[in-house]
Structure 1
Amino acid sequence: MADLLPLAEAQARLLALAEPLPIERASLIDAAGRWLAADIAAHVDHPFADLSAMDGYAIRFAELPGPWRVTQEVAAGAMPTAPLAPGEAARIFTGAPLAEGADTILIQEEAARDGGTLRLSGEGPPANGAHVRRQGSNFRTGGVVLNAGDRLTPPRIGLAAMAGYAELPVRRRPRVALLSTGDELAPPGAELKPGQIHESNTPMLAALLGSEPANLILHSPICDNFEKLRAAIAAAAADADILVTTGGASVGDHDLVRPALEAAGAKLDFWKVAMKPGKPLMAGRLGDCTVLGLPGNPVSAYVTALLFLKPLIARLGGAADPLPRTVRLPLGQSVPANGPRLDFLRATIADGTVHPLQSQDSGALTALAQADALLLRPPHAPAADTGMFADVLILA
């Protein structure tokens, strides 16, 4: 377990520790941002009929260039009063259904009307069916519109509503407990005693998870006392689906998280990942809770939370693809050869190119606060010149 795991293997092993949570039904608003737990099929056709895509007149294309007699008017939300007889047209508005017999829309900008008589005043519709949204062209009754594991983005919520749903099957929101450790930690805003620093990991990680479908349980920092830490870990894990600790994950005399976890009954699956920053990272199980021990350095905590904690939440939520995706971008400047660990360089993006920042200290948040991307440098990667492409993780 002391060997350094490649990132992909460590992520796979973490996700294998947890199963998706039980299914519940949630309103469309409450389901937003979560993952669909089952395929859903449309309850209706959309459009429900052939509809006009423009304001104008419903006509028979074969009767161009007219003239026509306007015999009815159809607005959105209304239905035609009768089929169109030969030589007839219907005044129609966007979203209104076509009367039987009509097949094309003559837009109002190309129409001239004198009382009940309609004439062509422009070029007219270019083809039969012009400016008509055909029944079922969006989806048909019984057709699958969303798949299990899809993230319920705003457009997908709208699509579900359009397909006839007021509620959707989703997984229960995971309960995520955040627990920082260290004698040196003081609450944000508190007056510092000699040797103290303000605790930043909990508010930072809570902000990172603010858009995730999870219920956060925030704990006060725990000092470097073995028994207090063991008791706090046991209590937090009993009330959570995921317990996240930050700090105390390395091998120093005051790094007590690993032995405290084991004393509380946790079974660790791995410890240490071949990545930079973020090597001292632990994962395991404590009862029904998945435990994730993040490094205490703020940059390391943030990067590992992006790569492990957010995917774990997605896994419990039923995501089809829980891991973050990278993009390929050209380098805006050359970068030196890399060492034996996968390196995540804080970087900015300008004019479509990626630029690593000068400071890469894992304890300094200044560069991370300036960054909008992480530039991935594979183990033992050779130096790369400006213009060469690299994998980049975009920061939200």
Structure 2
Amino acid sequence: MHQEHVRLNDKIIEIDSPVDMGNCIRRQGEDAAQGSLLLRAGTLIGAREIGAIASVGRARIPVFRKVRIALFCTGSELRQPGEDLAPGQIYNSNRFIMIAALRQPWIDLIDLGAINDDPVQLRNALTDIASDVDMIVTTGGVSVGEEDHMVSQLQEAGGRIEVMKIAMKPGKPLSVGTLNRAVFVGLPGNPVAAFTTWKLIGHRIAEKLAGKALADRPVMHVEVLEGFSRRPGRQEFRPVKIAGVSLDGRPQVEMLDQSFSAKISLICRSDGFAIIPANMDQVNAGDRLEFVRL
């Protein structure tokens, strides 16, 4: 019988290659030395991390509990997929965008559905849930229309608004505040604006509340294929599609529709956002922009 470099001949083993001193030996502490850092605080525990914890004999470790987030969408015009639409009504895509975005192993989601643009209903929803969650996320009702009641009703409920309107496109009406111990994040009602502001801002707030270590996002640059003019004043996150590669190996992007905050199908066709600085009024072919992959 032959096994690796050892041959068994009756009751005698024959080694058919030289034996080097220390070869094929697992030394104590070679994987993780005593006193070394195995996992940083805020690390999300997955299969690899569980294996590392078990390998050093730890039966228990302290962890953060899941962050509790309540979600509801505002709008008397909203209907659920599968229902019939009357004139002036739309399907509630925001609810399902956000449920999918919030379906994370470190989030305990409470879905409150849709609430009409009624001040009393909105205020009651806020006060009923605020003491039970770490974060309240809403979509719609944070702009300046007659039926935009979220900011005023948060304040009526005893909450505070810390941020109201930001210089970004899409997502200008984003509002951030607090109610009791809960952080309030009021996302815009347009689907792309809600998705973008959640991905870039809301998600990071939720990670912080959950105790997660915030990883640096790698910066990637892309090259613009065709130039265009724009109104300066807000940092813009424009949906783009990668359409080629430059001679130096940089991705080249095609800018999609300039008016896009309500067009959810547009970001389904995009590969990410090109970031246009707030002071830039002219983007030329060949310009390099930062890129956030979806």
TM bucket normalised to smaller:
0.7 to 0.9
Larger Rg: 1
- The DSSP-based 3-state class of the residue aligned with 2:148 is coil
Q: Say whether 1:178 aligns with 2:65.
A: no
Q: Which amino acid aligns with 2:283?
A: A
Report the AA paired with residue 261 of structure 1: L
1:383 aligned onto 2:283: yes
State whether structure 2 residue 250 is matched by structure 1 residue 358: no
**1:38-49 matches, cutoff 5 A:** none
Query: CA separation in 1, counterparts of 2:37 and 2:9?
Result: 47
Work out which of the residue numbers 298, 311, 330 in structure 1 matches 2:222: 330
Aligned pair in 2 of structure 1 residues 143, 258: CA closer, same or farther (>3 Å)? same
Give the superposition deviation at 1:389. 4.2
Cα deviations across residues 292-320 of structure 1 (Å, max 9, x unaligned)?
11100000000111122211111111123
For residue 60 of structure 2, the aligned residue among 161, 167, 173 is: 167
Q: Does 2:212 match 1:309?
A: no
Give yes or no for contact 2:240–2:272 (8 Å, CA) kept in 1.
yes
In 2, the alpha carbon distance for the partners of 1:179 and 1:383 equals 38
Structure 2 counterpart of 1:284, which letter? G
Match of 2:144 in 1: 251
Q: RMSD value over aligned CA atoms?
A: 2.5
Q: 1:335 to 1:153 in 2, by over 3 A?
A: farther
In 2, Cα distance between the equivalents of 1:224 and 1:157? 46
Cross-structure match for 1:369: 268
Runs (5+) with no aligned partner, structure 2? none
Number of residue pairs aligned between Structure 1 and Structure 2: 284
With over 3 angstroms needed to count, the CA separation of the structure-2 counterparts of 1:333 and 1:165, relative to structure 1, is farther
CA distance in 1, matches of 2:32, 2:46: 18
Instruction: Write the letter of the residue equivalent to 1:162.
Output: S
Q: Tell me, which stretches of 5 or more residues in structure 1 are unaligned? A: 1-55, 57-90, 92-106
* Structure 2 counterpart SS, 1:134: coil
- For each residue in 1:206-246, what CA deviation from the matched residue of structure 2 results, as whole angstroms up to 9, or x when unmatched? 10111241111111311122222222222232332111111
Q: How does 1:248-287 map to 2 (within 5 A)?
A: 248-287=141-180
**Amino acid paired to 2:142:** A
1:152 aligns with 2:45: yes
> 2:222–2:253: 8 Å Cα contact kept in structure 1?
no
CA distance in 2, matches of 1:389, 1:169: 45
Identity %: 33
Displacement of 1:343 after TM fit?
Answer: 0.9
User: Which residue of the other structure, out of 9, 14, 34, is the alignment partner of 1:118?
Assistant: 14
Q: Which runs of 4+ in 1 moved over 6 A?
A: none
Paired residue type of 2:87: P
Q: Deviations over 1:324-347 (max 9, x none)?
A: 614213326245455221111112
Q: TM-score, normalised by structure 1?
A: 0.65
Give SS of 2:292's match.
Answer: strand
What's the counterpart of residue 86 of structure 1? none
